[in-house]
Amino acid sequence: MPELPEVETTLRGISASILNTKIIQVNIRNPNLRWPIPNQLPQSLKQQHFTRIRRRAKYLLLSTTYGTLIIHLGMSGSLRIVPHNTPYDKHDHFELCFANNRALRLKDPRRFGAVLWTKDNIGKHHLLAHLGPEPLSPEFNADYLFQLSRSRKVNIKQFIMDSKVVVGIGNIYANEALFASGINPKRAAGRISRARYELLCQNARKILKEAIRQGGTTLRDFTGGDGKPGYFKQELQVYGRKNQPCIQCGHALKEIRLNNRSTVYCIHCQK
DNA sequence: ACGAAGCCCTGCAAGC
DNA sequence: TGCTTGCAGGGCTTCG
């Protein structure tokens, strides 16, 4: 389940193999992702090459001279670099073959992911136009969160998982950042002090950076573009640790459902 | 404007 | 053993 560190790890894993290398074949094996893969994609990409590959939120943006390929991994998606003619897995839905005998493959069992194409300025694309700041950018800071949250009644966990507030903080890292900051996930966003937002910003940044450094969190079968697993899972303090002792105080961690998302926290340490 | 709920989908695990 | 059920959850979309 890719969150920002997993997407960043994927970006780093695939870039060197495909940047500035000619695309010689585009294979759409199953176009039925979240939105259909555009059927004119092969003619848009064939004989072209990616001049720039970057990430915005959890979207991977692969640009040619003429437009940008937008890839989202959804819940279960992964990208891998494989040699040409590697046998397909059941859920390999999309493939770009390059002149260097490498192929970029999208595997996505649940098909929540997306592969789209745009010729427009990427910042104006409807999926990206209204996104909040990147959590690792200076725009994501205590003043920003404090101002934005005034009079908001929504709970803090949902608030920081809202991509209009800040991008890239999914369920796992929301749980972790709130634990590290001693904030109860149920607390209304509008009733948190500036000082506590400062703590939350610092912790969110620290946790995301560390997860990126370790290659993301491997749950089930996530692997980076090089096929190596992430190692962050062993660092998780609350997520997936229901009923286990709190690392701070030893109290059994509690699991609740908040906005239909699994939420694990310590009632003793998080107020 | 805000907040809550619905929906897309398959694999896996728990329960009967 | 084999079935059913529930959960995983990103994020757009719809409804109140």
- The sign of the dihedral angle between the CA atoms of A212, A54, A202, A168 is negative
A154 sits within 7 Å of strand B by its CB: yes
* Any domain includes A129: no
List pLDDT tens digits, range A217-262: 544 344 445 544 455 556 789 988 888 899 999 999 998 888 888 8
Residue A188 lies in a domain: yes
**Tokens of residue A125, six digits:** 């694309």
Supply the pLDDT for residue A221: 42
Q: Which of A64, A95, A124 is the last residue of a domain?
A: A124
Residue ending a domain, among A124, A152, A168, is: A124
CATH number at residue A181: 1.10.8.50
CB A78 within 8 A of CB A107: yes
Residue in A2, A5, A135, A185 annotated catalytic: A2
What distance in Å separates the CA atoms of residue A162 and residue A60, rounded to the nearest whole number?
19
Task: Dump pLDDT digits (tens) for A113-169.
Answer: 999 999 988 888 989 988 999 999 999 999 999 999 998 999 999 999 999 999 989
Decide if A69 is inside a domain: yes
Same domain (yes/no): A165, A95: no
Average pLDDT over residues A26-42: 93
Position A20: which residue type? N
* Domain coverage including residue A190: 142-265
Maximum distance among all alpha carbons in chain A? 60
pLDDT of residue A16: 94
Domain shared by A72 and A106, yes or no: yes
Total domains, chain A: 2
A137 within a domain of the structure (yes/no): no
pTM confidence score: 0.92
Give chain A's mean pLDDT.
89
Stated in angstroms, how far is A190 CA from B2 C1'? Answer: 13
Which residue has tokens 């507030």? Answer: A165
Q: Which of A3, A6, A95, A176 is catalytic?
A: A3
Statement to judge: residues A176 and A101 lie in one domain: no
- Cα A101 from Cα A229, distance rounded (Å): 24
Domain at A79, CATH number: 3.20.190.10
CA dihedral (A167, A6, A112, A106) positive or negative: positive
Whether residue A201 is predicted with pLDDT greater than 60 in this model: the reply is: yes
* Residue A46 annotated among the catalytic residues of the structure: no
- Please state the φ and ψ torsions of residue A175, each to the nearest 5 degrees: -55, -45
The DSSP secondary structure of A34-51, one letter per residue, reads SSBPPTTHHHHHTT--BS
In a domain, A58, yes or no: yes
- Which residues does A26 contact at the CB level (< 8 Å), separation at least 6? A41, A42, A45, A46, A95, A96, A97
Q: Are residues A176 and A62 in the same domain?
A: no
On whether residue A136 sits in a domain, the answer given is no
> Per-residue pLDDT averaged across A43-63, rounded?
95
Please tell me whether any atom of strand C lies within 7 Å of the Cβ of A261: yes
What share of chain A has pLDDT > 90, as a percent?
72
